[in-house]
Amino acid sequence: MMLMVIVILTAISLMLGSLLMYTAAQVISSRNAVYKEQGLNIADAAIEKAIWNLNQNFGYAGETNTSFGGGAFDVGVTVIDSHTKQIMATSYVPSKEKPSVTRTVSAQASISSNIVAFNYGVQSGNGGFLMSGSQTKVNGNVYSNGNIVSTIITGSAVAANLPEVVTDQENSSPSTPAYDISFGQSTGTQDFAQSFKISQSYSFNNIELYIKKTGSPSDETVRILYDNSGSPGDPVLGLNGMLDASKVTSNYGWVTVSLPVSPVLTAGQTYWMVIDGTSNASKYYTIGANDDGYANGVSKIGKYGGTWNSNSPLNADAYFKIYLGGETSSITGGTIGIAGDDVAWAHTVNSATVSGTIYCKVGTGNNKSCDTSSADPDPQALPLSDGNIQDFKSEALVGGTIEGDVSILSDTIIGPVKINGNLSIGGGSELKMTGTIWVTGNITLSGGAIVRLDSSYGSNDGAIISDGYNTLTGGSEFYGSGEQNSYPFFITTSSCPDDENCASKNAISFGGGSGTVGLVAQNGTISITGGSALKAVTAKTISMSGGAELFYDSGLVNSSFSSGPGGGFGFVQGTYLIIK
């Protein structure tokens, strides 16, 4: 009897043990199923985050052990070609250190053929972002590759450093100059001039001159001037340096002349370097030269503000070096941010009141101390390349060419088209765009002019490209196609006010208006003196004054055009794989 009881109890124990083991296995299996699904969601999110990072930083290569959604992930990015990248994401649940489940997925991201990435609503190049007037205001964030002078910015403000010092232009061969050009001996040969072109729109660092002196001449002013029909023209305001006579000896040597960091000149434009001083027959300078050794300019002798003449030989070029870049950027003044995550970030931040953290290495007069934990921000590329612009122009050419100026004083439908001249719209008339418009001259909007995209644009944006300056004033109105996220863009290749044909005008002068418009002048200056909604504003230099208030569509990172260039990464359909 006892034996039977023991057998029964043993059987019951075995059954209970098996049941418990089965139950535990089901719990583990169920938990692993949840973990697998959770891991796949984390890996997919990592792919999306990687694409977002690529649109912020083209060189993004991935990250490791990033916590997310109850787990962690690693991301690796490899280059397939100039437009396509492979993304591999592996997730770990509940942690990378002790994972119960790992999932791996891959996908490709490519630059879309019809998306331009405007990663910042307001983005300026090396010329900086300059605000004046106590009520001048930006509602949103600002990113600048140069200095920021602020009044009111409701979001974050970031001023990136310029690249390291580079020798942009040089004429210094052979080591012993073949020719000597003396100046300062008489009124007619009082000053020396050398034309040049820089290859990059960076700020000046310094100029070096291979020079010597006779007697004891005085210090000389080194000026940078615009070109005027092949001779020195008007001065670039604020861009002067001093040649220190004490640094020059009776023997040839390289002497450094420091120059201000702004304004920033335009790459490819002709400028003149003028050494301006007094005249004395026994106290003068001599600069080394060669015969046509510098391809981007020529030297002249004469008098600043007077007559200039060719040197001998005719194509003589001075020995000089131009250094660009190497400057740290700054944020000065104003109120920045309204929330705790709105920051000011630059090498130097002075006299600013910031709602969030101030990331800086040097700071005075701020409402809080510098947080020095972050490296200085890097410059960000402006969104459009020369190739992008050419794509727009090619699209306009599809509709043919109108020769001569076009003046619109009644409602007109036009596009795609190239206008080989100027375009003006006034008298409250409406220009309805049915395609891209390319204007080789200047654009003027006045008297309540209206620019509207045709309904055929759908949710896409439309572009008006010009090679001259744009003046948008008089309560102009700007409208998309009628669908959400559709806007007109004014894009100019103009380098005004740096070009000699600018007549002191900026690349885009915007006096405000109703509706929403995008403004792009990557080679020149945009001046904003009136309030309006801007989808994006991008320029080498942006200036706001007179109480102007800027609103921009901060919810939209990319701009989708109906045709033309691409600049933003997007997911490539059909490339998604679950590897594990």
User: Is residue 86 scored above 90 in pLDDT?
Assistant: yes
Rounded distance between C-alpha atoms, residue 488 and residue 472, angstroms: 13
How would you classify the pairing of strands 558-560 and 344-345?
A: unpaired
- The two three-digit tokens of residue 325, written as one number: 């870049």
Collapse the DSSP code of 4 into the 3-class scheme (helix H, G, I; strand E, B; otherwise coil) and give the result: helix
Give the pLDDT confidence score for residue 75 in this predicted structure: 96
Rounded distance between C-alpha atoms, residue 480 and residue 87, angstroms: 35
Give the pLDDT confidence score for residue 425 in this predicted structure: 93
Beta bridge partners of 157: 142, 344
266: which DSSP letter?
P
Give the pLDDT confidence score for residue 161 in this predicted structure: 85
Q: Which residue has the higher pLDDT, 196 or 390?
A: 196
410-443 residue pLDDT tens: 999 998 999 999 999 988 899 999 999 999 999 9
The total number of residues shown for the chain amounts to: 580
- The two three-digit tokens of residue 337, written as one number: 């941010």
- The two three-digit tokens of residue 37, written as one number: 């699904």
Closest CA to 483 of 455, 519, 446, 518: 455
Rounded distance between C-alpha atoms, residue 205 and residue 167, angstroms: 10
Q: Which residue has the higher pLDDT, 237 or 275?
A: 275
Cα→Cα distances 54→49, 79, 119, Å: 9, 12, 11
Closest CA to 320 of 373, 241, 394: 241
502-520 residue pLDDT tens: 888 999 998 876 667 888 9
Closest CA to 299 of 217, 177, 166: 177
Give the pLDDT confidence score for residue 141 in this predicted structure: 85
Cα→Cα distances 118→131, 211, 273, Å: 21, 47, 36
How would you classify the pairing of strands 152-153 and 179-183?
A: unpaired
Q: What is the DSSP string of 498-512?
A: SSTTSTT--SEEE--
Residues of the chain with pLDDT > 70: what percent?
A: 86
Q: Which domains does the chain have, with CATH numbers?
A: 2-113+571-578 (3.30.1300), 116-137+382-560 (no CATH), 147-161+329-378 (no CATH), 166-324 (2.60.120)
Is residue 39 within 8 A of residue 46, CB to CB? The reply is no
> Which amino acid does the sequence have at 43?
A
Q: Which residue has the higher pLDDT, 266 or 172?
A: 172
Beta bridge partners of 401: 418
User: What confidence tier does 82 reach under pLDDT thresholds 50, 70, 90?
Assistant: very low
Is residue 196 within 8 A of residue 271, CB to CB? The reply is yes
Q: Which residues touch 387 (CB under 8 Å, ≥6 apart)?
A: 565
154-176 residue pLDDT tens: 888 999 987 778 899 999 999 99
Residue 545's Cα: distance from chain center in Å? 21
Per the listing, tokens 């740096």 go with 498
Give the pLDDT confidence score for residue 10 in this predicted structure: 62
497 preceded by a cis bond (ω within 30 of 0): yes
278 φ, ψ (degrees, to nearest 5) = -105, 175
314-344 residue pLDDT tens: 899 999 999 987 788 899 999 999 988 889 9
User: Is residue 241 scored above 60 in pLDDT?
Assistant: yes
If one counts every other C-beta atom within 10 angstroms of the C-beta of residue 23, the result is: 10
User: Is residue 534 scored above 90 in pLDDT?
Assistant: no
Closest CA to 70 of 47, 37, 23, 119: 37
Q: Helix count (H) and strand count (E) of the chain?
A: 2, 51
